[in-house]
Structure 1
Amino acid sequence: MSEVASTSKRRSVGSKSVAFSALKRVPVGASETIAQRFQQLADSWVRETRFTNSMDDIVSNKSLQQIINLGSVVVPLILKDLEREPKHWFYALQILTGANPVSRNDAGNMQKMAAAWLQWGREKGIEF
């Protein structure tokens, strides 16, 4: 496993303050690809949050925070997953990209939010 240099930051998530690390290198094992690690964490995140209605719990979930800690390299993977089936990836995408292409009118509409992010990704030339 590679050594990771990080700086800890905090972001407000609803009523919670969530810590995440800005990573300089991605901590994956020699035999594990970023895509594999992402998929393991994404599967855990979905499984761990499937029965909650709390956005605070969804975005502060440990698996989602670990995905964010992988860095912007996972943005195409998130967009690909979002294209397959809309999930609450929007917080992670905002943290990783610094963008928010969702209009106020579309906020809360999962299909329209997903469409806005997918369009953003295409406009940025991100292949997913």
Structure 2
Amino acid sequence: MFANQTLTPAEIETIFRELVNQWQEETRGISASTELILHPAYQQIIGMGKDVIPLLLRELERKSGRWFWALQSITRHDPIPVELRGKTDAMINIWLDWGRKNGYQW
């Protein structure tokens, strides 16, 4: 979808927002993590690549969504220590710190 296109930051954000809204609407009531992350809209967000990292960090900061898998998939990095897995607030803070340390602004 994006390999041969050059999109402006505004276009990237518009597409991202549309996909987030679609994902949230179509997964409302689903609690299984696998179903959430395999949803086509979630997968398309991952497919957008590094351009959406700041947008994902912003979503985390707002405490919305389950974006850990997307961040891990895009960055190929997982900063969460084993002992903090499942502790959502701590995981959010760790990813936000990771984003700041890596120069992302959102």
Q: Secondary structure at the match of 1:100?
A: coil
Structure 2: distance between partners of 1:25 and 1:65: 18
**Structure 1 unpaired stretches of 5+:** 5-22
Q: Which has the higher strand share?
A: 1
Kindly provide the amino acid, as one letter, of the partner of residue 56 in structure 1.
Answer: T
Structure 2: distance between partners of 1:26 and 1:66: 15
Kindly provide the amino acid, as one letter, of the partner of residue 112 in structure 1.
Answer: A
1:78 and 2:48 are equivalent in the alignment: no
Q: CA deviation at 1:83?
A: 0.5
1:33 and 2:33 are equivalent in the alignment: no
Structure 2: distance between partners of 1:108 and 1:125: 26
**Corresponding residue for 1:12?**
none
Kindly provide the amino acid, as one letter, of the partner of residue 65 in structure 1.
Answer: Q
Mark the structure with the bigger radius of gyration: 1
1:24 and 2:24 are equivalent in the alignment: no
Instruction: Provide the identity percentage.
Output: 32
Deviations along 1:11-35, one digit per CA (max 9) or x if unpaired, are: xxxxxxxxxxxx634586x9x7010
Rate the CA distance shift 1:51–1:33 in 2: closer, same or farther, 3 A.
same
Deviations along 1:67-110, one digit per CA (max 9) or x if unpaired, are: 11111100000001110124210110011001101111110111
TM-score (norm 1): 0.74
Structure 2: distance between partners of 1:55 and 1:122: 27
Larger RCO, structures 1/2 (Cα 8 Å, 6+ apart): 2
Which of 43, 47, 52 is the aligned partner of 2:25? 47
Q: Which runs of 4+ in 1 moved over 3 A?
A: 23-28
How many residue pairs get aligned? The number is 105
Deviations along 1:38-78, one digit per CA (max 9) or x if unpaired, are: 00101111122221111110110110011111111000000
**Structure 2 unpaired stretches of 5+:** none
Kindly provide the amino acid, as one letter, of the partner of residue 47 in structure 1.
Answer: E
Alignment RMSD (CA, Å): 1.9
